[in-house]
Structure 1
Amino acid sequence: MNGLKPIFEPSSVAVIGASNNPKKFGHIILKNILDSGFRGKISPVNPKEKEILNLKCTDSPANLKEAVDLAVLAIPAELVPKAIRECGQKGVRGAVVISGGFREAGEKGTELEKSLVSEARRYEMRIIGPNCQGVNNPYHPICASWPLFTLRGEIAILAQSGTIAIAFADWTSLDHLGFSALVSMGNKADVDEADLIDYFSHHGGTRVISLYIEGISHPQKFLKALRDCRKPIAILKSGRTGRGKIAAEAHTSSLAGNDEIFDGLLKQNRIYRAETFEEFYDLAKALAYLQRPSGKRVAFITSSGGAAVLAIDTADKLGLEVPTLTNEMKDQLRKIVPAGASVNNPVDLTGDGDAPMFKKVADLVRPHFDTVVYVFGDPIEGASEIVRSDANELVIFMGGAEVERTEKTLMQKRKIPVFPTPERGIKAYSQLHKFSLD
């Protein structure tokens, strides 16, 4: 799989630029590799230190005494090409270059980047970066990045921006969903988005690939990777506007390209492009954890009339169907719901609705619809016990009381995604519906 196994599944790692200073990246990364549960040999490299975090130090890559699969470099840019050469001479097969000061920094940095790529290719070494925030694979535990995340999930986070990658990862952590891998691509001097799509299309822990990019390195290679990938891909590409393209080039020296052409390529290959960061996250979450609907008929069950109206407005705009219930279903529902509750669609249980009532209504309407949407707008104790992970059900939790937080946590620990607003939940579901039709 394109020579990336030494980077994502190393049996040994050297941290070049490791430090005893807890504020330095070389210290933070070394500590996170240790704390992530990495089971292989770890070699800190620093000519000024004898020992770091109870590990014996080597003064240079040239003097590494044992074979190393992966080198992580956090040293000044001007020292990187030589370090890559020494790593190559010692048989290192992959490197993650955290250091900045390359192509994104101007002409001198561009020459340094060319030099590091030349050295890497001489020794058939694959490079992530430079100017990146590292990699994290919780399935082969190694966090050569920061901050430390260890929860396993099913979404691979591939991003040209370290901040975007970490923010996405933080949301998966807060939602108790985790991720299958995190890669901050940086300048993509060697390994690019196409290489990563190819690798994670075969990665056992990954169900969905999420990709944030500012520009495409090799369009034809990228297009082939999209066509060959058998897993759903959610994409957020910035640099849509004139000013955005300028900002993208300043950030990682990316050529943002013609946005209309890019959009057309994605549509031809049925790849979903998010408009915003929130939509990007929601779409990946839906693709990873929601059942694929067989149609677009949606039943809403709610304890909040206002929240349900917002959900239905969004559903209507996006082409979903919200059919009125049959008279027979209405008669059956009146035996279940509180007096005065609405038995249309949505079925509004009002503030008197409890978890058993939600379940009875869902069981009654489920056979007649493609998806049941729960819109919880009041403290519903036991809500987590009635939502099924094996059925076409979508959960929207409004409210922030302790009961809601507890129930939401219980659901997401069962890998049932919960959406914080009607608009976000319905938008993600509508994209999922389109995916299921392709």
Structure 2
Amino acid sequence: MSLKKLFKPKSLAIIEASAEPDELGHLILKNIIDGGYKGEIYPVNPESEEILGLTCCPSIEELPENVEMAVVVTAAQDVPSTMKQCAKKGIENAVVMSGGFSEVGDEGKDLERELEEIIEEFNLHVLGPNCRGINNTVQNICASWPLITKKGPISIISESGSIGSTLESRASRDNIGISKFASLGNRIDIDESDLLRYFCKDRKTKVIALYIEGLKKGRKFLEAAEKAVKKNNVVMLKGGQSKRGSAAVTSHTNSSGGRYEVFKSVCKRAGILRVDDLDELYDVCKGIANLPKPKEKKTVIITNSGGAGILTVDAGEKLGLDLIDLPKKSVKRLNEKLPPGCVLKNPLDLTSNASAEIYDTAIKVLARYKDVRCIVIIVRDSLLGIADVLKKRFERATIVPVMLEDGNVESEEKRKLQKAKIPVFSSPKRAMKVLSLLPIAQ
């Protein structure tokens, strides 16, 4: 299955585009325009002559012959006939955002079966239904919402549109950006395996975030995942891990939740990195995207808070990280260069009086030793200049910054780091989870 015309269409139509700002057909058209899409755009609406400065086509039949992709936002009952008209017009690729199919009961299931028969009859490629669309920042096509244009190394495949858009928004906020996003919805045709195969060929993608509630074709997924991890890191979050959560999956996208133990086994076999919540999914992806890969996980913690240092050690021990003793020669040098009162162990506690310059000294000393591969930096309280220190030393080792507070100074220092594409984490536990899953440099 080729997905090129779905993500790189030279022209597209919005079926049931709307002049009403509060309707989905208006929002999607506006985001495509505002996102900077360079291809031809054809709004289809029999009741409007023009929407957002574009001339409307009254029907699918009156579209030009060169339309490569359709975005369908019609009512569910109209989708089958809409797709037939698209097929007869030669439009073989579509994103069906409309909800009201198998996720709502028997009537919706019948409608979905009818749509499935049409897809098979005309050999169409359809994403959805009941989905949030696609985004390809490389091609400036945001047929989704919210409008995200920040380009970056993360691609997202999500059975839940809102989970996927949350990841997009966080990546944009943190100046990381995304390459591609696809909302699976009910997966009547295109599924997570098809998207994995396509995304792993994208040279702009360094890591693929995958949110799945259930697998319809387990063997197909395993084969696609095994191939994908050879080219990209794949991080997966499974929704519906509990008994009640699994039951809730059915009413969301009519997916079969499946046993969580089976998913864990599939992830292990395929080489997928598995996480347990949304924060972990995002954190691990942004870490893989922008942290230098360590040759080993030999880790030292530097902190200005004794309590935070202890929590970081606890998190690291639970995750099996190699929290090494400070190299003997480094202890001597640190004792010479750091002020009295610093605790020269791992964690290296610089005490609450530490300045950015003291952090710089400690990092400079420790990064000289080959036994020190990873340095977790814990910062509590206002610390002017810490961003400049971390930017200067970032390539000396795998440095993982943690900022515990959100005051004015901390926020400004964090913004400086984000501008430099250095990821910042909000707690010791989250930082150590990322480090535990960070791939080793080959």
TM-score (norm 1): 0.96
Match of residue 392, structure 1, among 391, 395, 398: 398
For 1:218 and 1:413, locate their aligned partners in 2 and report how far apart those are by CA, in whole Å. Answer: 41
Note if 1:406 corresponds to 2:412.
yes
Aligned twin of 1:380: 383
For 2:385 and 2:89, locate their aligned partners in 1 and report how far apart those are by CA, in whole Å. Answer: 58
Give 4+ residue runs of structure 1 displaced > 4 Å after superposition.
none
Aligned twin of 1:180: 179
**One-letter amino acid matched to 2:339:** P
Aligned residues of 1:338 and 1:352 also touching (Cα < 8 A): no
For 2:2 and 2:107, locate their aligned partners in 1 and report how far apart those are by CA, in whole Å. Answer: 29
**Comparing 288-297 and 253-262, the one that deviates more:** 288-297
For 2:425 and 2:214, locate their aligned partners in 1 and report how far apart those are by CA, in whole Å. Answer: 30
Aligned residues of 1:304 and 1:378 also touching (Cα < 8 A): no
For 2:347 and 2:112, locate their aligned partners in 1 and report how far apart those are by CA, in whole Å. Answer: 58
SS at match of 1:309: helix
Residue 389 of structure 1 and its aligned partner are, at CA, apart by 4.2
For 1:90 and 1:398, locate their aligned partners in 2 and report how far apart those are by CA, in whole Å. Answer: 57
- The equivalences for 1:52-71 within 5 A come to 52-71=51-70
Aligned twin of 1:426: 432
Residue 106 of structure 1 and its aligned partner are, at CA, apart by 1.7
Residue 321 of structure 1 and its aligned partner are, at CA, apart by 2.4
Residue 186 of structure 1 and its aligned partner are, at CA, apart by 0.3
Note if 1:238 corresponds to 2:242.
no
Residue 326 of structure 1 and its aligned partner are, at CA, apart by 4.0
**What are the superposed Cα offsets for residues 279-305 of structure 1, whole Å, 9 maximum, x if unpaired?**
111121222222222223211111222
For 2:35 and 2:54, locate their aligned partners in 1 and report how far apart those are by CA, in whole Å. Answer: 16
For 1:249 and 1:156, locate their aligned partners in 2 and report how far apart those are by CA, in whole Å. Answer: 26
**What are the superposed Cα offsets for residues 322-363 of structure 1, whole Å, 9 maximum, x if unpaired?**
233244322211222222122222222223322232122112
Residue 424 of structure 1 and its aligned partner are, at CA, apart by 0.5
**Comparing 203-212 and 346-355, the one that deviates more:** 346-355
Aligned residues of 2:212 and 2:237 also touching (Cα < 8 A): yes
For 2:32 and 2:287, locate their aligned partners in 1 and report how far apart those are by CA, in whole Å. Answer: 30
- The equivalences for 1:124-273 within 5 A come to 124-229=123-228, 230=230, 231-273=232-274
Aligned residues of 1:165 and 1:182 also touching (Cα < 8 A): yes
For 1:326 and 1:28, locate their aligned partners in 2 and report how far apart those are by CA, in whole Å. Answer: 58
**What are the superposed Cα offsets for residues 206-265 of structure 1, whole Å, 9 maximum, x if unpaired?**
111111011112111101001111211110111222211211011110011222222112
**One-letter amino acid matched to 1:150:** T
Aligned residues of 1:72 and 1:144 also touching (Cα < 8 A): yes
Aligned twin of 1:333: 334
For 1:11 and 1:41, locate their aligned partners in 2 and report how far apart those are by CA, in whole Å. Answer: 7
**One-letter amino acid matched to 1:249:** T
Aligned residues of 2:28 and 2:144 also touching (Cα < 8 A): yes
Count of aligned pairs between the two proteins: 435
Aligned residues of 2:293 and 2:441 also touching (Cα < 8 A): no
**Comparing 343-352 and 145-154, the one that deviates more:** 343-352
For 1:285 and 1:114, locate their aligned partners in 2 and report how far apart those are by CA, in whole Å. Answer: 39
For 1:213 and 1:313, locate their aligned partners in 2 and report how far apart those are by CA, in whole Å. Answer: 30
Aligned residues of 2:76 and 2:101 also touching (Cα < 8 A): yes
Cα 1:78–1:337 change in 2 (3 A) is same
For 1:144 and 1:327, locate their aligned partners in 2 and report how far apart those are by CA, in whole Å. Answer: 57
**One-letter amino acid matched to 1:298:** T
Aligned residues of 1:6 and 1:69 also touching (Cα < 8 A): yes
Note if 1:313 corresponds to 2:317.
no
For 1:305 and 1:116, locate their aligned partners in 2 and report how far apart those are by CA, in whole Å. Answer: 61
For 1:222 and 1:327, locate their aligned partners in 2 and report how far apart those are by CA, in whole Å. Answer: 49
Note if 1:293 corresponds to 2:294.
yes
**What are the superposed Cα offsets for residues 162-198 of structure 1, whole Å, 9 maximum, x if unpaired?**
1111111122122221111111110000000000000
For 1:122 and 1:62, locate their aligned partners in 2 and report how far apart those are by CA, in whole Å. Answer: 19
Aligned twin of 1:436: 440
- The equivalences for 1:21-60 within 5 A come to 21-60=20-59
Aligned twin of 1:415: 421
**What are the superposed Cα offsets for residues 120-158 of structure 1, whole Å, 9 maximum, x if unpaired?**
333332111000111111111011111111111111111
CA RMSD of aligned residues (A): 1.6
